[in-house]
């Protein structure tokens, strides 16, 4: 029976992992070490600003262990969505760390670097040819919005990674990538079933999160076989169960049976999960269904202004009961005092303790709270206007008179001084679309002998 073993050290490069778990994984003689290094979960800021949401020292720590083990044992190491968002500055940031560590550790290997950046011209041509399709909730896309996007990346599939591995690269650092592709590219290249390989990648991209108890900072092992794959935890504190694996299979999916990706979809209609003992689960029945055309997800971010915030607490039960009405009155007063809203600024109140997490979608309407946390969120075209909008809103709310108010002192308790904080540039997704494209054309490969 053919087997292919994949070691996933951590959910995100830089989240850390116990070296004891990693060593257990190495004892299983993996054919591949793969790790996802990014996500859109932290929002558009990191793509737009060209910064990583993971700490450099933490990424360096993880990479030192991974590089040392992979190169010494001749195990291919594949890293996807480098630097968090996978654009040019994130890729260069990661490769710089790799080169530093190679020099310090005395390592020699062939490095494959795969950028995922998309030019504005490529997207404009796709728009003209009708090859762009909006994803649910995506903003309207036209030539102006494309031009306004400061950063654009395409989410690569398995093909660019396979090209790098076929060219003899020992270490592959890829820009923005479809999460399962990082884990599935090499086994698919060696003839393993695409459906099983991609489903395994879907689980391993989050490492031990799919175990019980789950952890994004621990290792997991996946073993591909002819007609199934097996998941194995690498810590004595965790096990995989059919429930934990099935639950993670449903993670981040709008359709429980289908997971779309570059070149097709993963069909999970007939999937089954079997407890085979020892904290291991066998998964079978996953199928990959190719699409008629090859589509790549495009992510683009544009700067939308600058943010200033103020954080405060409220303890008055009279104010708490009427908080929505009071905040609307404060909003109206600020608009009257600052007619342009701070140069067409946007003002939002996050009410923690009531609906700060889910907002208008909060199903609990009848709440009883003895205190609330309020975040005043002001966004304007420039930092100074955001400061003005935030400051005026804070001072208005602090001394606002409302029905039943007894105290004449301030309404708010501030945990910080200064109370107003600059949060810097604000970005938003301006492109969140599918582009019909060649699976390799947008992802050039650069090979370096380190």
pLDDT 10s per residue in the chain (450 long)?
799 999 999 999 999 999 999 999 999 999 999 999 999 999 999 999 999 999 999 999 999 999 999 999 999 999 999 999 999 999 999 999 999 999 999 999 999 999 999 999 999 999 999 999 999 888 889 999 899 999 999 999 999 999 999 999 999 999 999 999 999 999 999 999 999 999 999 999 999 999 999 999 999 999 999 999 999 999 999 999 999 999 999 988 889 999 999 999 999 999 999 999 999 999 999 999 999 999 999 999 999 999 999 999 999 999 999 999 999 999 999 999 987 755 579 999 999 999 889 988 989 888 789 999 999 999 999 999 999 999 999 999 999 999 999 878 899 999 999 999 999 999 999 999 999 999 999 999 999 999
Distance CA 421, CA 387 (A): 8
Instruction: Report if residue 216 sits inside a domain.
Output: yes
Does 156 share its domain with 257?
Answer: yes
Does 223 share its domain with 257?
Answer: yes
Does 173 share its domain with 89?
Answer: yes
Domain total for the chain?
Answer: 2
Does 229 share its domain with 360?
Answer: no
**450 and 111 in contact (C-beta within 8 Å)?**
yes
Does 199 share its domain with 141?
Answer: yes
pTM: 0.94
Does 286 share its domain with 137?
Answer: yes
**287 and 195 in contact (C-beta within 8 Å)?**
yes
Instruction: Report if residue 189 sits inside a domain.
Output: yes
Which residues face 436 on adjacent strands? 295
Instruction: Report if residue 306 sits inside a domain.
Output: no
Enclosing H/E stretch for 152: strand 151-154
Backbone angles phi, psi at 316, to 5 degrees: -75, 120
Cis geometry, peptide bond prior to residue 154 (ω within 30 degrees of 0): no
Nearest to 9 by CA among 147, 208, 144: 208
Instruction: Report if residue 425 sits inside a domain.
Output: no
* Side-chain half-sphere exposure of 234, counting CA atoms within 13 A: 30
Does 187 share its domain with 289?
Answer: yes
Alpha helical stretches, state H, 85-232 = 88-105, 120-128, 143-148, 158-166, 181-189, 194-204
Instruction: Report if residue 421 sits inside a domain.
Output: no
Instruction: Report if residue 417 sits inside a domain.
Output: no
Does 445 share its domain with 394?
Answer: no
Does 57 share its domain with 192?
Answer: yes
Does 334 share its domain with 288?
Answer: no
In 268-317, the DSSP E strands lie at 272-277, 280-284, 287-290, 295-314
In 337-443, the DSSP E strands lie at 346-352, 372-380, 420-436
Does 110 share its domain with 47?
Answer: yes
Crossing angle of helices 383-398 and 323-337, rounded to 10°: 130
Domain that holds residue 361: 316-412
Does 188 share its domain with 262?
Answer: yes
Query: CA angle, corner 209, sides to 116 and 443, nearest 5?
Result: 10
Nearest to 151 by CA among 258, 49, 41: 49
Exposed / middle / buried, residue 126 (Cβ in 10 Å: 0-12, 13-18, 19+): buried
What 3-state class would DSSP assign to 136? coil
User: Could you tell me the CA-to-CA distances from 21 to 33, 54, 343, 401 in Å, in that order?
Assistant: 13, 21, 54, 59
Backbone angles phi, psi at 26, to 5 degrees: -65, -35
**237 and 208 in contact (C-beta within 8 Å)?**
no
Instruction: Report if residue 286 sits inside a domain.
Output: yes
Instruction: Report if residue 22 sits inside a domain.
Output: yes
Enclosing H/E stretch for 226: none
């Amino acid at each position: 029976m053919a087997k292919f073993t994949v070691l996933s050290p951590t959910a995100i490069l830089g989240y850390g992992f116990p070296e004891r778990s990693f060593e257990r994984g190495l004892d299983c003689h993996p054919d591949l070490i793969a790790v996802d290094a990014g996500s859109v979960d932290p929002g558009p800021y990191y793509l737009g600003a060209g910064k990583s949401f993971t700490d450099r020292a933490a990424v360096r720590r993880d990479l030192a262990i991974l590089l040392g083990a992979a190169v010494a044992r001749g195990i291919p190491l594949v890293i996807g969505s480098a630097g968090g968002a996978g654009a040019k500055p994130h890729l260069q940031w990661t490769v710089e760390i790799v080169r530093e560590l190679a020099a310090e550790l005395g390592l020699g290997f062939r490095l494959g670097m795969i950028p995922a950046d998309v030019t504005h011209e490529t997207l404009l041509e796709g728009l003209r040819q009708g090859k762009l399709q909006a994803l649910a909730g995506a903003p309207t896309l036209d030539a102006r919005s494309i031009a306004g996007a400061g950063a654009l990346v395409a989410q690569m599939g398995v093909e660019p990674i396979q090209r790098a591995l076929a060219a003899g690269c020992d270490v592959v650092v890829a820009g923005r990538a479809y999460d399962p592709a990082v884990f599935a590219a090499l086994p698919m290249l060696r003839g393993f079933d695409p459906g099983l390989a991609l489903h395994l990648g879907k689980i391993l991209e989050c490492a031990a999160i799919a175990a019980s108890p789950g952890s994004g900072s621990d290792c997991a092992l996946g073993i591909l076989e002819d007609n199934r794959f097996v998941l194995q935890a690498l810590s004595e504190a965790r096990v995989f169960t059919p429930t934990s694996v099935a639950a993670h299979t449903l993670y981040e999916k709008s359709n429980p049976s289908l997971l779309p990706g570059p070149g097709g979809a993963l069909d999970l209609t007939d999937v089954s999960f079997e407890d085979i003992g020892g904290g291991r689960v066998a998964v079978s029945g996953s199928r990959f269904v190719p699409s008629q055309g090859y589509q790549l997800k495009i992510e683009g971010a544009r700067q939308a202004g600058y943010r200033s915030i103020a954080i405060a607490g409220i303890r008055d039960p009279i104010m708490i009961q009427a908080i929505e009405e009071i905040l609307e009155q404060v909003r109206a007063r600020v608009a009257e005092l600052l007619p342009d809203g701070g140069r067409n600024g946007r003002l939002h109140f996050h009410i923690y303790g009531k609906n700060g997490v889910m907002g208008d979608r909060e199903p609990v309407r009848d709440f009883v709270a003895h205190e609330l946390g309020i975040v005043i969120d002001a966004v304007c075209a420039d930092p100074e206007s955001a400061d003005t909008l935030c400051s005026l809103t804070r001072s208005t709310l602090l001394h606002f008179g409302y029905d039943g108010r007894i105290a004449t002192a301030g309404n708010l308790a501030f945990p910080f001084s200064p109370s107003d904080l600059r949060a810097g540039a604000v970005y938003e997704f301006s492109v969140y679309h599918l582009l019909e494209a060649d699976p390799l054309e947008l992802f050039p490969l650069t090979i370096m002998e380190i």
